[in-house]
Homo-oligomer: A and B are copies of this chain.
Amino acid sequence: MTVILHGYWRSLATFRVRAALNLKGVPYRENIVDLSKGEQFEQPYQSLNPQNVLPLLEHNGLRLSQSLAIVEYINEVWPQDSLLPLDAAGKARVRSLAQIAIADVHPLIVPRVRNYLEQEYGLSEPARLKWVRHWFGKGTQAIEARLEADDLSGLYAHGDQVSIADLALVSHVVGARLFQMDMSGAPRLEEIVGNCLQLDAFARAHPLAQAGAPATPA
């Protein structure tokens, strides 16, 4: 049963799913959909995912979209090394941390939003960069405050077990770095993300380790 991940090096949402598959040891093939060429709007991808966004996971005849839904699916179908704690309160904490990154920040900085700010309102490149950094900064503050509000983080976002929260926090920080954000105001977040990136599963999933990525990010 081949698993196919449709993704692109720079897609932070694809990064999350790639890392989850690696953590679970699930073999998969990645099909590159080149966002820089607009391939998400062309066939064959247009038919696979009419929302024209990445990632998409094909498994068992299913086509799954939305990174968090995909990651929950992966965690259920391949239950080893669970990416969620056992208790309801722990699950809520993990999912809440993930949502801050995935739902409060990432949707604001994706290409379709930056493009709309340019095309509709004529925002210059520096103005758009300020927008991106503003929302990354707000999210970083919120995440750091949450991590510091209790003693529940450890090596990783929730104790010493890698969870869905780490997938989201790593993609958040790696994304912020692609936009040259200063992360020094969030030492706890930086430490956790550093610990994750020492794991082979995250290192191999990193955007800059993918085919098509530039040696130095633009």
- Interface-facing stretch out of A23-31, A59-67, A191-199, A208-216: A59-67
CB within 8 Å of B: which A34-69 residues: 50-51, 53, 60, 62, 64-66, 68-69
**A86 to B164 alpha-carbon distance, docked (Å):** 21
- Stoichiometry, as copies per complex, reads 2
- With CB as the reference atom, state the residue of chain B lying closest to A102: B103
**A64 to B50 alpha-carbon distance, docked (Å):** 34
- Interface-facing stretch out of A1-9, A87-95, A153-161, A170-178: A87-95
Question: Provided the pairs A116-B134, A142-B50 are in contact, do residues A92 and B70 lie with their beta carbons within 8 angstroms?
Answer: yes
Q: Total interface residues on A, using CB and 8 Å?
A: 45
Contact between chains at B64 and A149 (CB < 8 Å): no
Question: Provided the pairs A73-B88, A95-B72, A123-B121 are in contact, do residues A66 and B103 lie with their beta carbons within 8 angstroms?
Answer: yes
CB within 8 Å of B: which A6-21 residues: none
Query: Which 8 A/B pairs are nearest by Cβ-Cβ distance?
Result: A69-B95, A66-B99, A69-B96, A73-B92, A66-B96, A103-B103, A51-B142, A107-B107
Given contacts A65-B96, A73-B92, 17 further A-B contacts (CB under 8 A): A51-B104, A51-B145, A64-B92, A64-B93, A66-B95, A66-B96, A66-B99, A69-B93, A69-B96, A72-B92, A73-B89, A76-B91, A103-B106, A105-B107, A107-B108, A121-B121, A121-B123
